[in-house]
Structure 1
Amino acid sequence: MKMKPLGKTGIEVSELCLGSMTWGARNDAEEAHEQIDRAIEAGVNFIDTAEMYPVNPVRAETIGRTERILGLWLEARERREDVVIATKHSGEGQKMVREGAPITAETIPDAVDGSLRRLKTDYIDLYQFHWPNRGSYMFRKNWTYDPSGQDRAAIIQNMEDCIGALEDEVRRGRIRAFGLSNESAWGTLQWIAASERVGGPRPATVQNEYSLMCRLFDTDMAETCLNEEVGLLAFSPIAQGLLSGKYQNGAVPGRSRMKKNPDLGGRVTDRAFAAVDTYLAIARKHGLDPVQMALAWCLTRPFMASVIFGATTLDQLDVALGAADVTLSQEVLDDITIAHRAHPMPY
């Protein structure tokens, strides 16, 4: 398992990151702990979670449950120094967390308190803002995204205030680094500029959706992050399971995400299944597992810090972990480029 830097922080993380959003919903604590043990045995040292997890769906009664499950593992194994923990402060509009309050300098200390308590730890390695207060074009909102009503001065002031609050947390030793999520190129640059003006933590990472089927990151965000040394933490690299092929021809496996979320967050379209057929054909042609091909391709991208994947079974976990040992030939990469041009926006 290769190690990669988290921006300019000096923190090193495994190129594959264990996602946790099923823990407490589709996976109980025992299953989650088995996943963590197996991933660490394979060389993973990076685990991503969030205060609002589990999801699909988000329920008031399960808010924070995933962090608690991870905290129980940390308490039982006594291996805090062996893992890098990333969690997230929910953004504006999530009614089941702080009644939908936006991220502000005032909400940060209490949110950090809650995460530390549930995680049973004294510090968070990477503290991320789950989505911008002003909204985001992620999650299929790119089709209707309209930033014309934004108040630039208020946005910048909020960023500076939040950076100040984060710096207080750094000084207290409660967070080590700061990351963004579901952010744009303009937003990323403004957070960097605010950190330079205020003197607080600089964004080290941005966690955005990225896969063979979702490549919005490839242009402005790629340029921004490469030049500013902000690493991508890619989520949904298997397109919520679509790229495994398990949903082709109308199939809906029993414990799958589609069972709970039929449109997979807007990803289920006729174009999507046609694109998956093309990528499955590439995997068959080259004798590759399609999940490993999808993850290994993400690992080839020059802006990638770590690829976040999740699993509901240990068999799925083992397949995903195997991607670290897969090297894609130039012929495979060329076939993927041809497929992307034929299916540029599957959803």
Structure 2
Amino acid sequence: MRYNTLGRTGIKVSEICLGTMTWGSQNSTAEAHEQLDHAFEKGVNFIDTAELYPTTPLSSETYGNTESIIGEWLTKRGRRDDVVLATKVAGPGRPYIRDGGPTTPEGIDQAIDASLKRLKTDYVDLYQIHWPNRGHYHFRNAWSYDPAKQDKAHVAGDLKAILDKLGDLVKAGKVRAVGLSNDTAWGTMKFINMAEQHGLPRVASIQNEYNLLYRAYDLDLSELSHHEDVGLLAYSPLAAGLLSGKYLDGAKPKGSRLAINGDLGGRFTPHQEPAVAGYVALAREHGIDPSQMAIAFCLARPFMASVIIGATSMEQLKTDLGAVDLKLSQDVINGIRRLHRLYPMPI
């Protein structure tokens, strides 16, 4: 396992981060703790969660349970100082979370205190804005994204108020570093500029989707990462399991995310099938596990701070962790380039 520095913070994170969004729904507490124990034995030191989790499915009844499961593990193992712990404050749109309202300073105060209580800790290492108030193009929103509808007079003040509150949390010792999620190059740069102008916490990372089927980060955001030292925390490196090949030809394994969530967050469309088939065939042609090829590709990207993996079984977890030992040959890389030209945005 290799380790990268989170932005300009000095915090070292493993190149694989253990994602947790199935814990409390698809995975029991015992299964989650088994995953944590194994991942840490293999050198993982980074856990990502959110007040919103679990998400398979989303539910007002289970909201917050994932953080509680992690808190139990931290207490049982007594390993808080060995863990880089990241969580997120939810944005607008969920009626059971602060009445579905936008992220506000007051809401952040409520959210962090509740997260710390569930996590049974005094601080989190990375606190992230789960999605912006103004909207974004992630989660299949690229097809309807229209920033021209954003209120220019309001947005800057909204961002400043949020960053001021994050600064308060850092000063209070509740948060070590701050990050964004599901945000854009403009939004990230705006936060960075405000931080520099006002002596506020600098964005250390951005958690956006990135995988062989969804590579928006390769463009403006990769340039921002290079010049501003803001690393990507890539979620859905397997495109919600599509790139494992398990859903090819209409397969829907019992208990899988597709069987629970219906369309994998809009990813399960006819457009992805030929692209996934191509990537799976490429991996098998070279004797590589398709999941490991997909994760290894992400790990090799120059802007990557950590790749967030999520597993519902120990077998999946062991396979995904095995990607750290895989170096893709030039033939495989060339094959990926060819397929990306054929299917540049299939989800």
TM-score by structure 2 length? Answer: 0.99
Structure 1 position 320, deviation (Å): 0.4
Secondary structure of 1:60 counterpart? coil
Which ranges of 4 or more aligned residues in structure 1 deviate by more than 6 Å? Answer: none
Q: Distance in 2 between matches of 1:57 and 1:155?
A: 31
Secondary structure of 2:173 counterpart? coil
Secondary structure of 2:105 counterpart? coil
* CA deviations over 1:291-339 (Å, ceiling 9, x no partner): 0000000011110000001000000000001001111111111110001
* CA deviations over 1:200-237 (Å, ceiling 9, x no partner): 11100000000000011111111112111100000000
Q: Distance in 1 between matches of 2:34 and 2:109?
A: 32
Structure 1 position 123, deviation (Å): 0.5
Task: After TM superposition, list the pairs within 5 Å mapping 1:9-28 onto structure 2.
Answer: 9-28=9-28
Aligned partner of 2:124 in structure 1 is: 124
Task: After TM superposition, list the pairs within 5 Å mapping 1:17-166 onto structure 2.
Answer: 17-166=17-166
Instruction: Assess if the C-alpha contact under 8 Å between 1:163 and 1:198 holds in 2.
Output: no
Structure 1 position 33, deviation (Å): 0.2
TM-score by structure 1 length? Answer: 0.99
Aligned-pair Cα RMSD in Å: 0.8
- 2:235 is equivalent to residue 226 of structure 1: no
Instruction: Assess if the C-alpha contact under 8 Å between 1:164 and 1:198 holds in 2.
Output: no
Structure 1 position 9, deviation (Å): 0.5
Q: Distance in 2 between matches of 1:275 and 1:73?
A: 39
Structure 1 position 197, deviation (Å): 2.2
Structure 2's unaligned 5+ residue stretches are none
- Identity over the aligned pairs, expressed in percent? 56
Code of the aligned partner of 1:23: W
Instruction: Assess if the C-alpha contact under 8 Å between 2:237 and 2:298 holds in 1.
Output: yes
Structure 1 position 177, deviation (Å): 0.2
Q: Distance in 1 between matches of 2:77 and 2:186?
A: 41
Secondary structure of 1:191 counterpart? helix
* CA deviations over 1:147-168 (Å, ceiling 9, x no partner): 1121223111121112111111
Q: Distance in 2 between matches of 1:314 and 1:63?
A: 24
Q: Distance in 1 between matches of 2:107 and 2:118?
A: 17
Secondary structure of 1:62 counterpart? coil
Q: Distance in 1 between matches of 2:243 and 2:39?
A: 21
Q: Distance in 2 between matches of 1:154 and 1:226?
A: 29
Code of the aligned partner of 1:327: K
Aligned partner of 2:284 in structure 1 is: 284
Instruction: Assess if the C-alpha contact under 8 Å between 1:160 and 1:198 holds in 2.
Output: no
Q: Distance in 1 between matches of 2:188 and 2:265?
A: 24
Aligned partner of 1:210 in structure 2 is: 210
Instruction: Assess if the C-alpha contact under 8 Å between 2:26 and 2:56 holds in 1.
Output: no
